[in-house]
Amino acid sequence: GPASLKASLFWRPGQEVALDFLPGSDLSALLDGPGQGKQTPRGLLRRLLPQRLVDALLPPESAGRKIAELSRAARQQICARIQDFRTVPAGLAGLKKAEACRGGVDTRQVDPYSLQSTVRENLWIVGELLDVTGLLGGYNLHWAWASGMAAGRALALFAGK
């Protein structure tokens, strides 16, 4: 979903990523919390995460055991799987899935007010063609419209000369 689309802007092939499935929470403290000992990690976590995700992440040998019966190492392993899950993505899904493209024409090659190319005459470059990429949240559309408007205004002045 949106998280992987955002992460893909920064990821480079071969890099390992660390995923925290409970950002802002301290699972270690939750496991050690009062009254939790009789629960299983699976039971505790399914209130916080989708069941299928919990089952995929938890080590099967400790998922269904009572928390109180788990060794320190087993608890640490559970915390690492949920809050520091390490993986190397196989690759990017490419343009078919992408919502915005990283890269483009170097912004130093256009005038920042008119978006006119400083390298080629009679060329205006806006939107995604430039090396401007926003996170998800409307920034790319905003940039496309704002830069298009700036270039349009500059062109109108240019044409009126």
Ligand X SMILES: Cc1cc2nc3c(=O)[nH]c(=O)nc-3n(C[C@H](O)[C@H](O)[C@H](O)COP(=O)(O)OP(=O)(O)OC[C@H]3O[C@@H](n4cnc5c(N)ncnc54)[C@H](O)[C@@H]3O)c2cc1C
3-state secondary structure of 146: helix
Binding flag, residue 84, ligand X (CB under 6 A): no
115 binds ligand X (CB under 6 A): no
CB of 134 to ligand X, least distance (A): 6
- Complex with ligand X: residue 54 or 115, whichever CB lies closer: 115
Q: Is 10 helix (H, G, I), strand (E, B) or coil?
A: coil
Segment near ligand X (CB under 6 A), from 7-15, 74-82, 132-140, 151-159?
A: 132-140
For the segment 88-107, give every residue that binds ligand X (CB under 6 A).
99-100
- Residue 62 and residue 77 in contact, taking contact as beta carbons nearer than 8 Å: yes
Two tokens at 59?
């080590």
Q: Which of 24, 61, 62 is nearest to 44 (CA)?
A: 62
Binding-site ranges for ligand X (CB under 6 A)? 99-100, 127-128, 138-141, 144
